[in-house]
């Protein structure tokens, strides 16, 4: 058994995450293996579509495996993380641009790096247990793996809200926000996947879909749009402080847990991605941040507090209401000579 099972079954290319005890966290080796499969299958006439799923019932993929990033980064080795992100983002772009149908079946948690695999295809399936989120700001990162483009395309200001608060989306929320397409009861997935393997007909997915459960975000849309339309992070925080509703208090509490530097940069990246509306432009902006995240950002401190010491008390560089504009611009300025190229082997 391997951490990721890659094979051809019937008329499909099949990818199964197989680290259920680790919530199917995406390691560097898994990322490279996935990219190799995409390269092999893009011109393979025997593969008419790709189907991606995961072992276990707790998670499709709960994110990237960040332990090695911390181990190398605390030793002053920033090259490993930079190489990991560059290779991962290239794989994300290939999935997004893949010339054949891609279907994903996302049970349980799909977060961070899992979004970069499960949410870039055209046929994204969720079930009752599905919980999707972009929680990166909580560890000093930004919504990445192309997730900033999905957030940018969400209705109204849902993208800013979901990216900055790291709110978890239930199935109806994920469909509303554009992270998923179809709701299908999870008991129906094995038979449907078997039929896809035989036919490679993605229309079977839509035919099997049930009405999506109601989205709790629908009732919050007006409040979200009002609070998260501010020009900058300080404006959003001020709007939430002025909102004496339960929503305002809960959103402000969520922001207060996260890295202010990450929040300010995430807001800028989401809005840049909304204007550019291009996966490679989104990944390029995300990489500007992640390239600098360990050396100049809050990432190592965020991982320490959340994963290593688990004290949940990170010492962020900046305060929520005292983030300098220059701190954001310094993290997102072009990378002279080190920009993301999307070329394999560089």
Positions marked active-site: 64, 113, 136, 144
Query: How many angstroms separate the CA atoms of 147 and 306, rounded?
Result: 21
Query: How many angstroms separate the CA atoms of 282 and 272, rounded?
Result: 8
The token pair at 316 is: 């962020």
CB atoms within 10 A of CB 45: 7
In angstroms, the Cα distances linking 130 to 5, 55, 111, 323, 339 are 22, 14, 10, 34, 35
Outline where DSSP puts E strands in 244-342.
Answer: none
Closest CA to 65 of 84, 52, 82, 51: 84
CB atoms within 10 A of CB 246: 9
**In whole angstroms, what separates CA 71 from the centre of its chain?**
22
- Contact in structure between 152 and 134 (CB atoms under 8 Å): no
CA-based end-to-end distance of the chain:
30
Query: How many angstroms separate the CA atoms of 151 and 143, rounded?
Result: 9
């Amino acid at each position: 058994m391997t951490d990721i099972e890659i094979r051809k079954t019937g008329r499909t290319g099949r990818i199964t995450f197989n680290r259920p005890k680790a919530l199917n966290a995406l390691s560097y080796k898994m990322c490279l293996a996935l990219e190799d499969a995409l390269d092999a299958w893009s011109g393979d006439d025997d593969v008419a579509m790709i189907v991606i799923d995961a072992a276990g019932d707790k998670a499709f993929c709960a994110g990237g495996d960040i332990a090695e990033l911390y181990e190398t980064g605390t030793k002053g080795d920033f090259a490993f993380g930079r190489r990991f992100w560059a290779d991962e983002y290239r794989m994300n772009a290939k999935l997004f641009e893949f010339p054949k149908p891609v279907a994903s079946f996302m049970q349980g948690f799909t977060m961070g790096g899992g979004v970069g695999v499960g949410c870039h295809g055209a046929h994204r399936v969720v079930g009752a247990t599905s919980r999707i989120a972009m929680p990166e700001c909580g560890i000093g990162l930004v919504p990445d793996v192309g997730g900033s483009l999905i957030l940018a395309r969400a209705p109204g200001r849902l993208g800013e809200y979901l990216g900055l608060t790291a709110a978890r989306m239930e199935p109806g929320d994920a469909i509303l926000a554009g992270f998923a397409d179809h709701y299908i009861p999870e008991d129906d997935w094995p038979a449907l996947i078997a039929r896809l393997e035989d036919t490679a007909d993605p229309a079977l997915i839509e035919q099997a879909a049930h009405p999506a459960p109601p989205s709790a975000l629908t009732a919050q849309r007006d409040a979200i749009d009002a609070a998260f339309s501010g020009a900058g992070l300080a404006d959003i925080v001020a709007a939430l402080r002025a909102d004496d509703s339960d929503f305002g208090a809960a959103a402000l509490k969520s922001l207060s847990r996260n890295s202010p530097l990450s929040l300010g940069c995430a807001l800028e990246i989401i809005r840049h991605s909304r204007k550019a509306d291009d996966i490679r432009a989104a990944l390029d902006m995300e990489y500007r941040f992640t390239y600098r995240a360990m050396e100049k950002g809050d990432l190592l401190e965020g991982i320490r507090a959340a994963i290593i010491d688990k004290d949940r008390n990170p010492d962020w560089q900046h305060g929520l209401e005292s983030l300098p504009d220059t701190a954001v611009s310094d993290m997102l300025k072009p990378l002279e000579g080190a920009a993301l190229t999307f070329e394999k082997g560089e």
